[in-house]
C-alpha cells in the first residue's frame, strides 16, 4: 500500500483542504503542461491526494524536478516528455503510461501558449502556433486517451480553457479564438461520449504563472496589473472539484463568466464594460509600475514572444 503524505501548512490552504477530499487514491492522472504553472501545481496536488501522476511537457529537466518533488513526499510520478503539437510524441507517451500503470483515469489538458496582438495586426504564424498547442494539442490528447477510458469503463477529461474562451478581449483576439474553439469542442464531446466518461471545463482568469509573468515583459499586455493575478492553486482547486464531483464547468473566480450572459443578452453593454475594465486596468497598471525599478530593455520585451502556462 502506498504511503500517503499528510498535508502540511506549507502546502497552502486550498491544497490542504483538497488533500482531505479523497477520491483519488491509486487513480492514474495524466497532466499536460506539467513542467510549470497550473500543470505543475496540479501534479503536486493530485500526488498528495494519493494519485499516480504522469507529468507531460516538452522540458524534461523541469519534469524531473516536479517528479522529484512528488517522490520526496512518497508520491508516485512518471515522466513522459511530450510535445502536444506532435501526435507521434503524444501516442508514445500514452503507450508508455499504459504499459506502466495499465489505465488512465483522468486527463488534465493544461498546456497552452499566448501570443498577444490586436486583431488588425495579428500574424497568421502566431495564430497557427497558438492553434497547434491550445486546440489541436488538446484534441490529440483527448483522442489518444479516449480508447483506453472506453475500454476500462470510464474516465474523466478536464480541459483548462479560459474566461477568454467566453468573451473576446484585446489584445488577446487570437488566444480568445483558440479558447472559444476548445470550449466548443469540449461541449460537443460531452454529447458524444457515454455517461461513464466525464468531460469538464475550467475557465480561469489571469493566473500567477509564467504566462502571466510574461505580461510585464510584453508591451501589448502592459495594461494588465499584476496585482490582480490569482494564484495557480485556485485553478487547481477547480480542476480537482470538477473531476471529483463531475462538474461540467467552473469559472475561476466563481461567477466570473457572468460576462458571457451579459454579452448574450446585451452585446453593446458587454463591449462598454470591457472597454471600461481595460481603461481601469491601464490606470492601475501604470500606478503599480510607477513604484517599480525600471525594467530591462532587452529582447525579452519583444511583443511576439509566446507566453506559456
In a domain, 4, yes or no: no
pLDDT at 247: 96
Using an 8 Å Cβ cutoff, are 100 and 117 in contact?
A: no
The number of domains in the chain is 1
β partners of residue 203: 251
For residue 268, being part of any structural domain is answered with no
Q: Is the pLDDT of residue 85 over 60?
A: yes
Instruction: Report which of 79, 170, 84 is spatially closest to residue 122, judged by C-alpha positions.
Output: 170
β-pairing, 249-252 vs 197-204, is parallel
pLDDT in tens, 134-189: 999 999 999 999 999 999 999 999 999 999 898 888 889 999 999 999 999 999 99
Residue 285 is assigned to a structural domain of this protein: no
Least confident of 25-29, 144-148, 192-196, 219-223: 219-223
Q: How confident is the model at residue 23 (pLDDT cuts 50, 70, 90)?
A: confident
Structural domain includes residue 131: yes
Q: What is the average per-residue pLDDT within 275-301?
A: 49
**Which entry of 46, 101, 175, 224 is annotated as an active-site residue?**
175
Helical H segments across the chain, by residue range: 13-18, 37-48, 60-71, 87-101, 124-131, 138-151, 173-192, 210-213, 232-244, 258-265, 267-289
Segments forming the whole domain that contains residue 32 = 9-257
CATH at 41? 3.40.50.720
Any domain includes 303: no
How many helices and strands (H and E) does the chain possess? Answer: 11, 9
Grid cell locating 293: 525599478
Q: What is the pLDDT of residues 33-59, one digit of tens each?
A: 999 999 999 999 999 999 999 999 999
Instruction: For residue 235, give Cα distances in angstroms to 5, 92, 168.
Output: 22, 28, 21
Q: What's the rounded Cα separation, in Å, for the pair 201 and 251?
A: 8
Catalytic status, residue 175: yes
Q: Are 81 and 54 in contact (CB under 8 A)?
A: no
Retrieve residue 231's grid coordinates.
494564484
Grid cell at residue 35: 513542467
The answer to whether residue 156 is domain-embedded is yes
CA distances from 26 to 2, 46, 75, 171, 231 (A): 8, 10, 10, 43, 27
Question: Is residue 2 in some structural domain?
Answer: no
Residue 288 lies in a domain: no
| pLDDT tens-digit series, residues 214-267 | 555 555 555 555 555 688 899 999 999 999 999 999 998 776 666 666 666 666
Amino acid at each position: 500500500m502506498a504511503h500517503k503524505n499528510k498535508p502540511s501548512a506549507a502546502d497552502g490552504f486550498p491544497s490542504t483542504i483538497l488533500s482531505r477530499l479523497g477520491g483519488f487514491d491509486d487513480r492514474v492522472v495524466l497532466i499536460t503542461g506539467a513542467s510549470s504553472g497550473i500543470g505543475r501545481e496540479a501534479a503536486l496536488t493530485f500526488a498528495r491526494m494519493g494519485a499516480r501522476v504522469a507529468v507531460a511537457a516538452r522540458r524534461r529537466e523541469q519534469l524531473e524536478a516536479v517528479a522529484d518533488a512528488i517522490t520526496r513526499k512518497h508520491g508516485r510520478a512518471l515522466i513522459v516528455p511530450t510535445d502536444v503539437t506532435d501526435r507521434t510524441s503524444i501516442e508514445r507517451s500514452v503507450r508508455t503510461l499504459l504499459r506502466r500503470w495499465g489505465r488512465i483515469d483522468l486527463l488534465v489538458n493544461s498546456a497552452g501558449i499566448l501570443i498577444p496582438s490586436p486583431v488588425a495586426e495579428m500574424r497568421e504564424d502566431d495564430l497557427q502556433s497558438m492553434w497547434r498547442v491550445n486546440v489541436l494539442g488538446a484534441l490529440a490528447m483527448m483522442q489518444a486517451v479516449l480508447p483506453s477510458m472506453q475500454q476500462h469503463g470510464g474516465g474523466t477529461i478536464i480541459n483548462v480553457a479560459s474566461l477568454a474562451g467566453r468573451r473576446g478581449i484585446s489584445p488577446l483576439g487570437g488566444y480568445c479564438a483558440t479558447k472559444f474553439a476548445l470550449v466548443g469542442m469540449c461541449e460537443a464531446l460531452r454529447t458524444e461520449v457515454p455517461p461513464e466518461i466525464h468531460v469538464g471545463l475550467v475557465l480561469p482568469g489571469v493566473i500567477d504563472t509564467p504566462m502571466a509573468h510574461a505580461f510585464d515583459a510584453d508591451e501589448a499586455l502592459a495594461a494588465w496589473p499584476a496585482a490582480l493575478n490569482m494564484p495557480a492553486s485556485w485553478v487547481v482547486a477547480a480542476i480537482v472539484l470538477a473531476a471529483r464531483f463531475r462538474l461540467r464547468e467552473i469559472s475561476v473566480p466563481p461567477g466570473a463568466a457572468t460576462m458571457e450572459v451579459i454579452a448574450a443578452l446585451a452585446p453593446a453593454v458587454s463591449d462598454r464594460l470591457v472597454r471600461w475594465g481595460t481603461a481601469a486596468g491601464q490606470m492601475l497598471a501604470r500606478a503599480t509600475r510607477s513604484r517599480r525599478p525600471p525594467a530591462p530593455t532587452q529582447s525579452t520585451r519583444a511583443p511576439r514572444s509566446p507566453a506559456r502556462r
